[in-house]
Structure 1
């Protein structure tokens, strides 16, 4: 049996951010990852101001800034008219928050987090199958038969949800919508003509976004209320985070063509450069996944922590991508959790029971800090999603009157500071 003080399940954004935060505070952790390497599906995500505050707290903000374009504003456009309905400039708000928004490569972020950790922190091919209590400790049983004993167990396993199940959190449900994501790569000597703008396109039951990662890459996403996936590929009993990858080499070439044609059709009168980006995208880079979320009420009233066990990231607040805050919130979780837990573990404890009580107090403090923030983000995302897939009347109201409000909401939810590690 292996003994570790802190075990984190899942080497995703939340897991690695928490581990790095603990490392910065002088605490060692072991991160268990079921895959053979870091999971980098999805390619990129929008990193808002709140995430950059978390990244700066972890000490990797400047490294990532050097590799990604600073976006200057957001433009919302209707697919029906092709005319912009709102234009938001990223400037200081009434709260004097200077917005910083970039599209960050997921692989770059995960590798940057992992490279800052001591060698041996991440243990790959380590799938957790069950959790057992032994006094104050937790016994983690892995698929290979090995057992790890730990004082603290943190679940960042957004796909497997083993820890969340142990805490009794409600399983995520299918949102009734599908997400298609991809990225277009341009030759270095050509580049793209897409400005430093986050372009959102609404209409006909769809929401899509296009934004530059760097001078040669454009990331895009497309969500629609009706799934275009073959029904035999969607397992309704599967847990949140299931992603269906089409192997365009092994399937018919028509699959990729039909997917692109479908998106081009739904984009309506979108600008020509947007259509060109879809056409430029390598079919092998396209990922299609059903969207799932946890009901906000479960986040508000469920068990985020229990004694020396807690959850963070998608294991805590799986939400639809309608306000683009899933990964951002995971980074916030990592900083807050590392701070609360390190403060608890650095307190003097006379025996195991005293240490256990300190850990319990620290995780309870983390849960208190993150509960309302997670509820707020999940609720907002759910409401925006309902507006997206609602009736024809709701869609009309959204496209005609709510578009500027929805665009501004992205910035309002980013006006949050998770604080430093040592505050």
Structure 2
């Protein structure tokens, strides 16, 4: 006889959005390489010498910190969802290993290829022409990077570097590669040389951290995003199902807000569902609880919708300008627009999603 596991809430995906939601519920510088001139820098420090609120956090460490705060057994690893079935007011998940889970609430935080988003009617996320190469380096000695985000704009590419601590740094490189260049993503050694070949005018200390990045710390992938009108017209929540994080709003990294937005999602979603379950009457009919869950998810979608639309739209526009090979666009990008774009990430990060109650 098949065993069915029953849960109040099931979150598919243990990324930033999934872990933040789970934990919330449990607790209740820019330089133009075209002109050769530095346009502006974005410091992490305020005018009093204190940290201004922008931090570079290694994704692996963030996920570990969130996961370690959850009770043992909360996360079920290697459990791919292969089908979603309706059963009365509940949803039944069928996993690849044969396990069946029945839940009152289903939250899809399962990334850009989300099974839950597909069930809700969302199309596959669209591809941007650009690719991004990311690298993380741990040096034996202290690097020369100042505590600020430095960005360099070239003809058809963008590269940036930011320190994580005194010896560790993160860097990225975005461009629109040719068909032949796209094959480099499968060869880390050639990929690294390709990036360096594009950066002849970059300062030596930034080039140094790229040169010293281990091949296994390199990652390259095409950029994907969801069209803003899909978020305006689509079903972010339906009955007792919703999506969050990259499952809902994959976006190009030009504002550095993808992970931050997923954290915001988790806080808001946990707050909306927390209100539903914390105020649950002792003798409540199943249909009444179902309606309260449905309203809680609708509240989450309403509160977050225009934040997602703003970030996705702005990021797409900025990326299109950055990756343009047009001489006309490059002229204005290098002389007039760079300072404006440099300030956008911090401006967009100045957002208060509220607190858990």
Q: TM class by shorter-chain length?
A: over 0.9
Identify unmatched segments of 5+ residues in structure 2: none
TM-score calculated relative to the size of structure 1: 0.79
Q: Do the aligned partners of 1:178 and 1:227 also contact (CA within 8 Å) in 2?
A: no
Identify unmatched segments of 5+ residues in structure 1: 26-74, 234-243, 247-254
Instruction: Determine whether 1:24 maps to 2:27.
Output: yes
Cα deviations by residue, 1:239-290 (Å, 9 ceiling, x for unpaired)? xxxxx6x4xxxxxxxx444323322232231111111111111122111111
Q: Which residue of 1 aligns with 2:81?
A: 128
Residues 228/274 of structure 1: CA separation in 2 closer, same or farther (3 Å cut): farther
Residues 194/92 of structure 1: CA separation in 2 closer, same or farther (3 Å cut): closer
SS of the residue corresponding to residue 231 of structure 2 reads helix
* Displacement of 1:399: 1.3
Q: Which residue of 2 aligns with 1:14?
A: 17
Q: Which residue of 2 aligns with 1:328?
A: 260
Cα deviations by residue, 1:111-163 (Å, 9 ceiling, x for unpaired)? 10000000000001100011111111001011112110000000000143100
Residues 286/231 of structure 1: CA separation in 2 closer, same or farther (3 Å cut): closer
Residues 389/230 of structure 1: CA separation in 2 closer, same or farther (3 Å cut): closer
Following the alignment from structure 2 to structure 1, what is the Cα–Cα distance between the partners of residues 183 and 329?
Answer: 31
Q: 1:64-83, aligned counterparts within 5 Å?
A: 75-83=29-37
Following the alignment from structure 1 to structure 2, what is the Cα–Cα distance between the partners of residues 112 and 17?
Answer: 10
Q: Which residue of 1 aligns with 2:70?
A: 117
Instruction: Determine whether 1:169 maps to 2:122.
Output: yes
Q: Do the aligned partners of 2:129 and 2:176 also contact (CA within 8 Å) in 1?
A: yes
Q: Which residue of 2 aligns with 1:222?
A: 173
Q: Point out the more displaced range, 342-351 or 10-19.
A: 342-351
Following the alignment from structure 1 to structure 2, what is the Cα–Cα distance between the partners of residues 116 and 87?
Answer: 36
Q: Do the aligned partners of 1:80 and 1:268 also contact (CA within 8 Å) in 2?
A: no
Q: Which residue of 2 aligns with 1:405?
A: 340
* Displacement of 1:361: 0.5
Q: Which residue of 2 aligns with 1:360?
A: 294
* Displacement of 1:86: 1.6
Following the alignment from structure 1 to structure 2, what is the Cα–Cα distance between the partners of residues 202 and 311?
Answer: 35
Cα deviations by residue, 1:11-49 (Å, 9 ceiling, x for unpaired)? 000000000000002xxxxxxxxxxxxxxxxxxxxxxxx
* Displacement of 1:83: 2.3
SS of the residue corresponding to residue 102 of structure 1 reads coil
Cα RMSD (Å): 1.8
Q: Point out the more displaced range, 395-404 or 334-343.
A: 395-404
TM-score calculated relative to the size of structure 2: 0.93
* Displacement of 1:99: 3.6
How many residues in Structure 1 have an aligned counterpart in Structure 2? 348
SS of the residue corresponding to residue 150 of structure 1 reads strand
Cα deviations by residue, 1:58-109 (Å, 9 ceiling, x for unpaired)? xxxxxxxxxxxxxxxxx1011234321123445679xxxx841111011110
SS of the residue corresponding to residue 100 of structure 1 reads coil
1:211 to 133, 158, 162: 162
Q: 1:358-397, aligned counterparts within 5 Å?
A: 358-390=292-324, 391-397=326-332
Q: Do the aligned partners of 2:273 and 2:293 also contact (CA within 8 Å) in 1?
A: yes
Following the alignment from structure 1 to structure 2, what is the Cα–Cα distance between the partners of residues 408 and 91?
Answer: 14
Following the alignment from structure 2 to structure 1, what is the Cα–Cα distance between the partners of residues 179 and 243?
Answer: 32
SS of the residue corresponding to residue 318 of structure 2 reads helix
Q: Do the aligned partners of 2:44 and 2:149 also contact (CA within 8 Å) in 1?
A: no
